[in-house]
């Protein structure tokens, strides 16, 4: 078993000696977890087939689920992609660094282990100084899925990473809590209409300001075949069984109270994921507020940490309120659907 080193790094002024130590691990084929604006990533050299294999092994990640590659400057694309698809230049100029991942046709220098055998590679530039300094110091692009055991809620703080991967990776750079809290938006520009393969930290509405009409991959619907990392498999899931309730807020509350009463009467320990506006409405259960309905960023930034908190509290059942799909709400609802295993009640 590896001895995992947990290192606190100033998120605004990263200590160069710590960044250099982590970069050396990456260059040597090891694994380093690091913060981004979305979630913590589990980083390895994207040009190293063996490093990719270590990432899959540490996470228990299915081998056909490709990794996202992180860069720190647009000029790095020249060495790893064949071409830049139409529309990508303006997107990169506007939204990089930021929570947007774009698909490109890869050059052979990117091994098949990084892309799960695909001829495309998903690339983004994170909006986090520690991440950017690490990539720069490493001198190679860094492949980095979320730094958690595959299927569990993604990590938004270093302690989440330690909980899942202690003894499996070389180092964790602790840069505090991730501000966005859900993964990047994954965009495919290869077709006639731009296609979101995974909703994430950059809302569809923002993309449409640049691209015009943008569609969402029909594979995101239950029963369809997804085309993006994080969508094909059970993901973001807490230990407890989870039910998502959708509909008008008052009806959601009434249904959740009814369900909680039935579950508690059968001896179940019930957790209720409410919002700031509704948490006082529930007379039973362990009630946690995930954030403000009128400020979706507060919900996205708290979502995974709340799911992990319910795990620590040992609840048997989680009942969650749905929110509007506008803006960041689309990414939040996507994660809630997956966390609930598409166990949804519409009221």
Q: Which residues are annotated as a binding site for L-threonine?
A: 38, 70, 124, 184
Beta-bridged to residue 185, according to DSSP, are 100
Q: Are strands 68-70 and 142-143 parallel, antiparallel or unpaired?
A: antiparallel
Distance, in Å, from the CA atom of 148 to the CA atom of 253, rounded to the nearest integer, reads 32
**Would you say 148 and 158 are in contact if contact means Cβ atoms under 8 Å apart?**
no
- Cβ neighbour number for residue 347 with a 10 Å cutoff: 15
Q: Known binding site: residues? A: 38, 61, 65, 70, 120, 124, 144, 146, 154, 184, 198, 236
State whether residue 305 is helix, strand or coil.
helix
Q: Known binding site for ATP: residues? A: 61, 65, 120, 144, 146, 154, 198, 236
Distances (CA, A) of 339 to 9, 152, 219, 320: 31, 9, 17, 10
The number of C-alpha atoms within 13 Å of 110 and in the hemisphere containing its C-beta is 31
- Helix axis angle for 88-95 and 204-211, nearest 10°, is 130
Strand order, beta sheet including 32-34: 5-8, 171-174, 32-34, 41-45, 142-143, 68-70, 120-124, 100-105, 185-188, 195-198, 215-216
- Rounding to the nearest 10 degrees, give the CA dihedral for residues 282, 283, 287, 290: 20
């Amino acid at each position: 078993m590896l001895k995992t080193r947990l290192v606190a790094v100033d998120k605004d002024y990263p200590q160069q000696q710590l960044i250099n130590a982590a970069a050396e691990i990456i260059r040597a084929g090891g694994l380093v977890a690091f913060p981004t604006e979305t979630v913590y990533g589990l980083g390895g050299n994207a040009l190293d087939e063996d490093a990719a294999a270590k990432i899959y092994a540490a996470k228990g990640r299915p081998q056909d689920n490709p990794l996202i590659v992180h860069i720190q400057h647009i000029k790095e694309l020249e060495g790893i992609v064949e071409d830049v698809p139409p529309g990508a230049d303006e997107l990169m100029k506007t939204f990089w660094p930021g929570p947007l991942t774009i698909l490109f046709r890869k050059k052979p220098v990117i091994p098949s282990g990084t892309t799960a055998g695909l001829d495309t590679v998903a690339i983004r530039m994170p909006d986090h100084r520690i991440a950017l300094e690490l990539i720069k110091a490493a001198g190679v692009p860094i492949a980095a899925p979320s730094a958690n055991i595959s299927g569990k809620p993604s990590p938004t703080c270093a302690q989440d990473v330690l909980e899942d991967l202690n003894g499996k990776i070389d180092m964790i750079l602790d840069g505090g809590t991730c501000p966005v809290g859900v993964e990047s938006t994954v965009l495919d520009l290869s077709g006639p209409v731009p296609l979101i393969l995974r909703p994430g930290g950059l809302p569809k509405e923002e993309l449409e300001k640049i691209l015009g009409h943008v569609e969402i991959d029909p594979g995101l619907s239950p029963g369809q075949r997804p085309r993006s990392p994080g969508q094909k498999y059970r993901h973001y899931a807490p230990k407890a069984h989870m039910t998502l309730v959708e509909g008008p807020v008052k009806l959601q509350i009434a249904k959740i109270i009814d369900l909680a009463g039935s579950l508690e009467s059968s001896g179940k320990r019930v957790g209720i994921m409410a919002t700031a506006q509704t948490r006082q409405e529930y007379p039973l259960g362990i009630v946690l507020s995930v954030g403000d309905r009128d400020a979706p960023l507060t919900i996205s930034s708290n979502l995974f940490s709340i799911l992990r908190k319910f795990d620590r509290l040992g609840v048997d059942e989680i009942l969650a309120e749905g929110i509007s799909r506008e803006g960041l709400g689309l990414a939040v609802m996507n994660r809630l659907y997956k966390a609930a295993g598409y166990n949804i009640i519409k009221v």
